[in-house]
Amino acid sequence: MSAGPEGTRDWAGRFPGFDVLSQARHWDQVTADTVMARIKPPAAPRFFTGAEAACARALLNLLTGQDEPDGELAVPVLEMVDSRLQAGETDGWRYDDMPEDGQAWRDTLAHLDADAGLRCGTSFAAAPELDRLALVQAVQDLKSADWHGLPAAHVWSLWTRYACTAFYAHPSAWTEIGFPGPAYPRGYKNAGVGKLEPFEVRDARPAEDPVKEGA
Amino acid sequence: MASGSGVRARNESAWLLPNDGTRTNHRLRRDMRRFADDDEIDLVIVGCGAGGSVLLQRLARAGWKVAALDAGPFWDPDADWVSDEAGSHQLYWTDPRVIAGTDPVPMGSNNSGRGVGGSMVHYAGYTPRFHPSDFMTATLDGVGADWPLSYAQLRPYYEQLEQELPVAGERWPWGDPHGYPYRPHPVGGNGEIFLRGADKLGITAKVGPVAITNGRFGNRPHCIYRGFCLQGCKVNAKASPLITHIPDALAHGAEVRPDAMVTGIAVDERTGRATGVRYVRDGRERFQRAAMVAVAGYSIETPRLLLNSSCERFPDGLCNDFDQVGRYLMVQGAPQTAGRFDAEVRMYKAPPPEVSTEEFYETDPAREAKRGFSIQTVSPLPITWAEHVAAQGHWGSALREYMSDYVHWSCLGSLCEFLARPENRVTLAEEKDSYGLPVARFSYSQCDNDRALVRAAQSVMEDILHAAGADEVITIQRYAHLVGGARMARDERHGVVDSNCRSFAVPNLYITDGSVLPTQGSANPALTIMAVAARAADHLAASGTT
Its pTM stands at 0.97
Between chains, do B87 and A89 touch, taking CB under 8 Å as contact?
A: no
Is the pLDDT assigned to residue B53 strictly greater than 80?
yes
- State the residue range of the domain holding A151: 44-173
Please report the sign of the dihedral spanned by the C-alpha atoms of residue B46, residue B50, residue B56, residue B58.
negative
On whether residue A31 sits in a domain, the answer given is no
pLDDT given at position A70: 57
Q: Where do the domains of chain B lie, and which CATH numbers do they carry?
A: 5-543 (3.50.50.60)
Between chains, do A169 and B104 touch, taking CB under 8 Å as contact?
A: no
* Closest chain B residue to A58, measured at CA: B396
On whether residue A30 sits in a domain, the answer given is no
CA distances from A173 to B60, B227, B265 (A): 48, 18, 48
> Exposed (0-12), middle (13-18) or buried (19+): which is B222, by Cβ within 10 Å?
middle
Is the pLDDT assigned to residue B1 strictly greater than 50?
no
Chain B: nearest CA to A103, how far in angstroms? 14
3-state secondary structure of A158: helix
On whether residue A50 sits in a domain, the answer given is yes
pLDDT given at position B277: 98
Confidence category of residue B59, pLDDT binned at 50, 70, 90: very high
Chain B: nearest CA to A12, how far in angstroms? 8
pLDDT given at position B84: 98
DSSP assigned state of B502: B
Between chains, do A91 and B344 touch, taking CB under 8 Å as contact?
A: no
Q: What are phi and psi of B389, to 5 degrees?
A: -70, -45
Chain B interface includes A90 (CB < 8 A): yes
A183: which chain B residues are within 8 Å (Cβ-Cβ)?
83, 224, 226-228
> Exposed (0-12), middle (13-18) or buried (19+): which is A69, by Cβ within 10 Å?
exposed
Chain B: nearest CA to A52, how far in angstroms? 20
pLDDT given at position A6: 66
Q: Strand B355-357 to strand B509-511: parallel, antiparallel, or no bridges (unpaired)? A: unpaired
Q: Strand B261-267 to strand B274-281: parallel, antiparallel, or no bridges (unpaired)? A: antiparallel
* A residues 46-65 lying closer than 8 A (beta carbon) to B: 62-65
- Averaged confidence pLDDT in chain B: 97
On whether residue A130 sits in a domain, the answer given is yes
| Separation of alpha carbons B185 and B206, rounded Å | 11
Mutate to test the interface with A, among B400, B402, B444 (most CBs of A within 10 A): B400
Segment A150-175 mean pLDDT: 97
On whether residue A36 sits in a domain, the answer given is no
Is the pLDDT assigned to residue A82 strictly greater than 50?
yes
* Each residue's pLDDT tens digit, A37-69: 999 999 999 999 999 999 999 999 999 999 776
- ipTM of the complex, rounded to two decimals: 0.95
DSSP string, A63-121: HTT---TTS-----HHHHHHHHHHTT---S-EETTS--HHHHHHHHHHHHHHHHHHHHS
On whether residue A33 sits in a domain, the answer given is no
Is the pLDDT assigned to residue A4 strictly greater than 80?
no
A87: which chain B residues are within 8 Å (Cβ-Cβ)?
none
DSSP assigned state of B128: P
Is the pLDDT assigned to residue A166 strictly greater than 60?
yes
Segment B91-100 mean pLDDT: 95
Chain A: nearest CA to B396, how far in angstroms? 4
Segment A8-23 mean pLDDT: 87
Chain B interface includes A6 (CB < 8 A): yes
Confidence category of residue B544, pLDDT binned at 50, 70, 90: confident
pLDDT given at position A208: 75
Return the exposure string of B75-101: e unless at least 16 CB atoms fall within 10 Å of the residue's CB, then b: bebbebbbbbbbbbbbbbbbbbbbbbb
Q: Are B527 and B155 in contact, with CB atoms under 8 Å apart?
A: no
| Separation of alpha carbons B374 and B529, rounded Å | 18
Segment B119-144 mean pLDDT: 97
Chain B: nearest CA to A6, how far in angstroms? 5
* A residues 103-162 lying closer than 8 A (beta carbon) to B: 133, 136, 140, 160-161
Instruction: Give Cβ neighbours of residue A174 (< 8 Å, ≥ 6 apart).
Output: A20, A168, A180, A181, B382
Mutate to test the interface with A, among B81, B397, B406, B426 (most CBs of A within 10 A): B397
Mutate to test the interface with B, among A164, A170, A190, A200 (most CBs of B within 10 A): A164
Between chains, do B471 and A209 touch, taking CB under 8 Å as contact?
A: yes
Is the pLDDT assigned to residue B516 strictly greater than 60?
yes
* Each residue's pLDDT tens digit, B449-458: 999 999 999 9
On whether residue A35 sits in a domain, the answer given is no
Between chains, do B95 and A96 touch, taking CB under 8 Å as contact?
A: no
Confidence category of residue B110, pLDDT binned at 50, 70, 90: confident
Of B188, B383, B393, the CB nearest to A192: B188
Length of chain B equals 546
Chain B interface includes A44 (CB < 8 A): no
Confidence category of residue A74, pLDDT binned at 50, 70, 90: confident
Number of domains in chain A: 1
* Each residue's pLDDT tens digit, B527-536: 999 999 999 9
Please give, one letter per residue, the 3-state secondary structure of B436-461: CCEEEEEECCCCHHHHHHHHHHHHHH
| Separation of alpha carbons A157 and B526, rounded Å | 29
On whether residue A211 sits in a domain, the answer given is no
Length of chain A equals 215
Smallest Cα–Cα separation from A166: which of A91, A108, A110, A97? A91
| Separation of alpha carbons B76 and B63, rounded Å | 27
* Each residue's pLDDT tens digit, B147-161: 999 999 999 999 999
Mutate to test the interface with A, among B225, B234, B384, B405 (most CBs of A within 10 A): B405
DSSP string, B106-119: --GGGT-B-STTGG
Chain A: nearest CA to B26, how far in angstroms? 18
B96: which chain A residues are within 8 Å (Cβ-Cβ)?
90, 92-94, 100
Is the pLDDT assigned to residue A99 strictly greater than 60?
yes
Q: Are B288 and B37 in contact, with CB atoms under 8 Å apart?
A: yes
Segment B71-91 mean pLDDT: 97
Of B100, B340, B381, the CB nearest to A96: B100
* Each residue's pLDDT tens digit, B344-364: 999 999 999 999 999 999 999
Mutate to test the interface with A, among B404, B411, B443, B466 (most CBs of A within 10 A): B404
Between chains, do A206 and B344 touch, taking CB under 8 Å as contact?
A: yes
Chain A: nearest CA to B193, how far in angstroms? 8
pLDDT given at position A212: 60
CA distances from A214 to A77, A83, A208, B338, B401 (A): 26, 35, 11, 16, 11
Return the exposure string of B300-331: e unless at least 16 CB atoms fall within 10 Å of the residue's CB, then b: bbbbbbbbbbbeeebeebbbbbbebbbbbbbb
Is the pLDDT assigned to residue A215 strictly greater than 60?
no
pLDDT given at position A1: 36
As a whole-number percent, the residues of chain A with pLDDT over 90 amount to 86
Q: Are A173 and A15 in contact, with CB atoms under 8 Å apart?
A: no
As a whole-number percent, the residues of chain B with pLDDT over 90 amount to 97
